[in-house]
Amino acid sequence: MKHTKTLAFASAALMALGLAGCSTPASAGKVGDMDISSGLYLLMQLNAYNEAAGLVEDTSADVLDQTVEDMPAADWIAEKTTENIRRYAGIRQLCAEHGVTLSEDDQTQLDTLVESQWTSYGDYYESNGIGENTFRLALEAELLAEDLLPAIYGEDGSDPVDAAELESYIQENYTDLAYFSLPLMTPSYTFATEEQQTQIEELGKKAVQRMQDGEAMETVAAETVKEAYDIMEMEYTEDAAAVQTTTVTKLGDSVAEAVTAVFETSEGGFGSVTDSTSVVVFRRDALSSPDSLTDSALRYMKQDDLDQLALAAADEMGVALDDSARKALSVKNIKE
């Protein structure tokens, strides 16, 4: 199955950050025999800085004037930058050991990503000491990491996850869902008044009760959605009341309130939850195709393990970053 590659550092690298100064060393040091260019160091530092910016107490104040996880921000960023570099080098080393290379499809995706991002941000990167080749290398490492994970932990990997354990993980963290939505916003972006929202939330609760009493979800949806459209003074069509199905997971950095409500409901049970634009009325169903979730679940399950494996590989190679070069590439030069 083809997967869209997730690029952990990309959002940080695309932040509008500036670097002052015009004299930079060619290299920031080595990991084993692998040279860490100043451009790669800067890119990894940007990632660390952006992560720190999301962890400080006051996001409107200067990041470097604050603490992150009880450390001065500059120290935290320095440690995180080193960790990012160790992970990069470790991923490269593990890929070499396991014979993991980019497929033709992966290479095409890499070319597309680099072209797209460099067209938009290339001048900016170059002005800050980050060249296109450096950007490509960092993106390439992330794509390789996506392929490395199943090479180690997949069914045919060097250290495969127990099949029963993976199946249990899927059943615990994924579920199917049937649902319909009651609008709290019109097509012209007019939001429900407090009174309208209260009325529609009550409709959702009544719909849940009707389904618990045995009425068909499609019947309840058709009548309830129409009532909600009337309350919002919207034009109703039968398509609006269609019951939809999806698979949801509680895995990830941020889980929506609606997803939390689903997993708090027993299988076969009903519920309703309000989000920013609608009241969602749902039924939690058993997974219909758990096998299709194997790759997704494996990545959630083993990503941290892969990262730790990469860090250990880098440490075994030997991390030797140059202190004088790091001072020249100071985080203090970063401007938002």
pTM of the model: 0.81
Tell me what pLDDT residue 121 has: 83
Tell me what pLDDT residue 8 has: 42
Task: Specify the DSSP class assigned to residue 332.
Answer: G
Confidence of residue 16 (pLDDT cuts 50, 70, 90): very low
Can you point out the beta strands (E) in the chain? 18-19, 27-31, 34-37, 67-68, 71-72, 174-183, 244-249, 270-274, 278-285, 319-321, 334-335
pLDDT at 2 over 70: no
Quote the radius of gyration of the chain (alpha carbons, Å): 25
Confidence of residue 335 (pLDDT cuts 50, 70, 90): low
Q: What percent of the chain has pLDDT over 70?
A: 93
Condensed to tens digits (0 to 9), the pLDDT of residues 305-319 reads 999 999 999 999 999
- Backbone angles phi and psi of 93, in degrees to 5: -65, -45
Q: In this structure, how many other beta carbons lie within 10 angstroms of the beta carbon of residue 212?
A: 12
Determine contact, residues 336/54, Cβ cutoff 8 Å. no
Tell me what pLDDT residue 208 has: 98
| Residues 270, 210, 278, 274, CA torsion sign | negative
Rounded to the nearest angstrom, the gap between the alpha carbon of residue 143 and the centroid of all alpha carbons in its chain is 14
The residues near 186 (Cβ < 8 Å, ≥ 6 apart) are 232, 233, 234
- CA dist., res. 206 & res. 270, Å (int): 11
Tell me what pLDDT residue 130 has: 82
Least Cα distance to 292 among 109, 170, 210, 110 occurs for: 170
pLDDT at 12 over 50: no
- CA dist., res. 184 & res. 19, Å (int): 45
Tell me what pLDDT residue 20 has: 37
pLDDT at 37 over 90: yes
pLDDT at 67 over 80: yes
pLDDT at 193 over 50: yes
Condensed to tens digits (0 to 9), the pLDDT of residues 85-134 reads 999 999 999 999 999 999 999 999 999 999 999 999 888 778 777 889 99
Long-range CB contacts (< 8 A, 24+ apart) of 251-254?
A: 251/173, 251/297, 251/300, 252/300
Tell me what pLDDT residue 161 has: 97
How would you label 254-274 residue by residue, b for 16+ Cβ within 10 Å and e otherwise? eeeebbebbbebeeeebbbbb
Condensed to tens digits (0 to 9), the pLDDT of residues 153-188 reads 999 999 999 999 999 999 999 999 999 999 999 999
Condensed to tens digits (0 to 9), the pLDDT of residues 195-244 reads 999 999 999 999 999 999 999 999 999 999 999 999 999 999 999 999 99
Confidence of residue 19 (pLDDT cuts 50, 70, 90): very low
